[in-house]
Amino acid sequence: MHRVAVYHVNDVEILHIYMRSGMVNIRVNANAGSSCESPNEYGIAHFLEHLMFKGTEKRNAKEIRRDAARIGGKLNAWTSFDHTVFHITALSEEFEMAFELLSDLFLNPVFPKEEIEKEKIVVLDEMRRSQDRPQSILYQKTSGKFWSHNIDHRILGTRENVEEMGREEIIKWRSGYYSGKNIQVAVAGEITEKQVREVAGRCFFTTNMAGKVTYPEVAFTGGNDDFYKKGILATYFLMAYPALPRAHDDHVRQRVMTHVLGGGGSSLLFEQIREEMGLVYGIHAGILNTDAFNTLIIGTSSKPDNIHLIERIMRGIIEKLCSSPVSEDRLIMAKASMLSTIRMIAESPVGMNSLVSLGYLKGDSVNMYKRLSQEIPEVTRDDVLTIAEETFKQKPYVGRLWPE
């Protein structure tokens, strides 16, 4: 069992999830990511995320890492399209030290010039490694193809931008987004509200400088693109459709329908294309939700001779999903699979914080764990049919990466 409370300390929103655990997870969620960037800034949100760990007014980068290790802490961060997360998981008895450490690196970075230049090498190497993964290459090549304004451009940015980023530019971008109403602190673990209020009151402050993040209206465009790369043996495939936003009344129904289609070992795509025909190693359908855009993506890979056959079978499965109800047993399997997954995630403070905090950051004021737990069992076969018809009525975008 868990309890969720939202309150403010020093004008900062605190999301507090009380749950039994010997560990505590603390997150600083910033309501800004790569979709906030202009073309000459592509990559700055991700680069800034790296630099936040490179020293503060009281700790250098090595001291940050060692102070975390002394309390059993695991520090990490990631950048998404519409948010960036900085978090630490530590022993519950070390909550105060963990909160102070995370607050220090988030509020007081100094961005030493030598660390900026050194971290450019690291990020550029990250880009090179992504070029060794065909799935990443396909997504990079299709970015901006099906959503307008290039809103879904590559989070890592461009080599040219990263090489040219300077300290003043980084500080300006951080000041414009990492403050005010764009910041939320989320705590999950066996920590009392009194503890959270006392420690947050001493450690975490922000300004009201940053304005609310907004995104342009974007349009989805169906299409068909083929790309080629030397040195690969398989062909990589994706099919994309526009999806519903998190706040939509039918969001959970669409997630269940997507799971029925391609969410696991008992899904329609996996059973027919993998198990019955042996055409692929893996095939998956999932939904990516952001403030800027929402996409349902189906992805797989196979030997080149199989791809057009797989695509025909896939379209046939989707057509059937839109024309007749799935069996009751298949729906039961999908719903049970989804419920077991979210319950396993929610067993840990890290997972519970991930499930719950983002919705509150985005202003939904909905406990997504509770919403999923309540609405998934209520989805019917007719719901799946109706939402499939609505989802797949638009022409998809299809991208393929072939061996050259």
> 126 — phi, psi (to 5°)?
-60, -40
**How far apart are alpha carbons 197 and 187 in whole angstroms?**
11
Tokens describing residue 309: 């056959």
Q: What is the CATH number of domain 2-203?
A: 3.30.830.10
CATH number of the 223-403 domain: 3.30.830.10
What is the per-residue pLDDT across 111-121, written as a single tens digit (0 to 9) for each? 999 999 999 99
> SS3 breakdown of the chain: % helix, strand, coil, rounded to 5?
50, 20, 30
Residue 5: strand pairing partners: 16
Q: What is the mean pLDDT of the chain?
A: 95
Q: Which two tokens stand for residue 216?
A: 């342009």
pLDDT digits (tens, 9 = 90+) for 331-368: 999 999 999 999 999 999 999 999 999 999 988 888 99
Q: Give the residue carrying structure tokens 């760990």.
A: 53
The more confidently predicted of residues 146 and 314 is 314
CA 380 – CA 244 distance, rounded (Å):
18
End-to-end Cα separation, the chain, in angstroms: 54
- Integer angstrom CA distances of residue 137 from 38, 107, 143, 306, 356: 22, 35, 10, 20, 31
- Give how far the C-alpha of residue 315 lies from the chain's centroid of Cα atoms, to the nearest Å: 27
Sign of the four-CA dihedral 114, 119, 122, 123: negative
Phi (first) and psi of residue 239, to 5 degrees: -130, 130
Q: pTM, whole model, 2 decimals?
A: 0.94
Distances, alpha carbon 14 to alpha carbons 10, 86, 95, 211, in Å? 10, 15, 15, 19
Residues 87, 353 contacting (CB under 8 angstroms): yes
The two structure tokens encoding residue 125: 């190497």
Q: What is the pLDDT of residues 215-242, one digit of tens each?
A: 888 899 999 999 999 999 999 999 999 9
Do the beta carbons of residue 288 and residue 240 sit within 8 Å? no
pLDDT at 285 over 90: yes
Kindly state the tokens that stand for 202: 């001493």
Ramachandran sector of residue 393 (left: φ over 0; alpha: ψ -120 to 50; beta: rest): alpha
What pairs with residue 229 in β-bridges? 403
pLDDT at position 381:
98
Do the bridges between strand 183-189 and strand 12-19 make them parallel or antiparallel, or are there none, so unpaired?
Answer: parallel
Q: Positive or negative CA dihedral for 99, 103, 106, 110?
A: negative
Q: Which residue has the tokens 């989802």?
A: 391
Residue 381: burial class (beta carbons within 10 Å; 0-12, 13-18, 19+)? middle
Query: What tokens appear for 372 in the block?
Result: 């999923």
Please report, to the nearest 10 degrees, the dihedral formed by the alpha carbons of residues 101, 56, 52, 75 taken in order.
Answer: -30
User: Is it the case that residue 38 has pLDDT exceeding 70?
Assistant: yes
Whether 2-203 shares its CATH topology with 223-403 is answered yes
Question: What number is the average pLDDT over the span 313-338?
Answer: 98
Domain coordinates of the chain in residue numbers?
2-203, 223-403
What confidence tens digit (pLDDT) does each residue in 51-60 have? 999 999 999 9
pLDDT at 156 > cutoff 90: yes
Q: Which of 48, 13, 15 is nearest to 33 (CA)?
A: 48
The whole-angstrom separation of Cα 134 and Cα 22 is 40
Helix, strand, or coil (residue 372):
helix
